[in-house]
Amino acid sequence: MVLKKVKFLAKEAALRLKYMTNKDCIFCKIVSGEVRSNIVYEAKRVIAFPDINPIAATHILIVPKKHIESAVGFQKADTEDVMALFGAAKKLVDKNSLDAYRLAFNGGKFQHVPHLHMHLVAGKKIEWSKL
Ligand code: AMP
Ligand code: ZN
């Protein structure tokens, strides 16, 4: 049991290193473990962690392990990584029993971290302007 867990963690660590393609990117650093975060969901191609500056009671960032820059700039080869964001969103929606939520991508000057991420926000009231 312990050996299985160690093997799983070693595999995850290897994958994280493999996907760390931009050494100055804060989200790559979270993926690689260089910057600590409270990871609430992890799968082969994605991780999710709470936004450091939440705009609602629930505000989770879903991030591909691969450094893809934006929601409109990804390549065909990134399709599975992008799809995985939606798979993770479903898991998190179910896990948190969210009955009202918003999934969003920022772009251009609205995007502050140039590593693709989906915002999952939920709560009593979400001000659209804050996203
Ligand atoms: P965007 O404006 O769509 O690029 O959103 C970037 C988001 O990343 C913002 O909501 C930030 O609060 C969030 N953020 C930046 N650095 C961190 C971090 N180290 N951990 C968690 N969230 C972060
Ligand atoms: Zn990155």
Indicate if ligand 1 lies below 6 Å from the C-beta of 51.
yes
Q: Long-range contacts made by residues 53-57, C-beta under 8 angstroms, separation at least 24?
A: 55/121, 55/126, 55/127, 55/130, 55/131, 56/121, 56/122, 56/123, 56/125, 56/126, 57/122, 57/123, 57/124
Catalytic residue among 59, 67, 115, 117: 117
Indicate if ligand 1 lies below 6 Å from the C-beta of 109.
no
The whole-number pLDDT of residue 130 equals: 67
Tell the burial category of 14 from Cβ atoms under 10 Å away from its Cβ (0-12, 13-18, 19+).
exposed
Indicate if ligand 1 lies below 6 Å from the C-beta of 83.
no
pLDDT tens digits for range 42-66: 999 999 999 999 999 999 999 999 9
Provide the residue ranges of all domains of the chain, joining segments of one domain with +: 24-126
pTM of the model: 0.85
Residue 55: helix, strand or coil by DSSP? coil
Respond yes or no: is residue 117 known to be catalytic: yes
The confidence band for 3, taking pLDDT boundaries of 50, 70 and 90, is: confident
CATH code, 24-126: 3.30.428.10
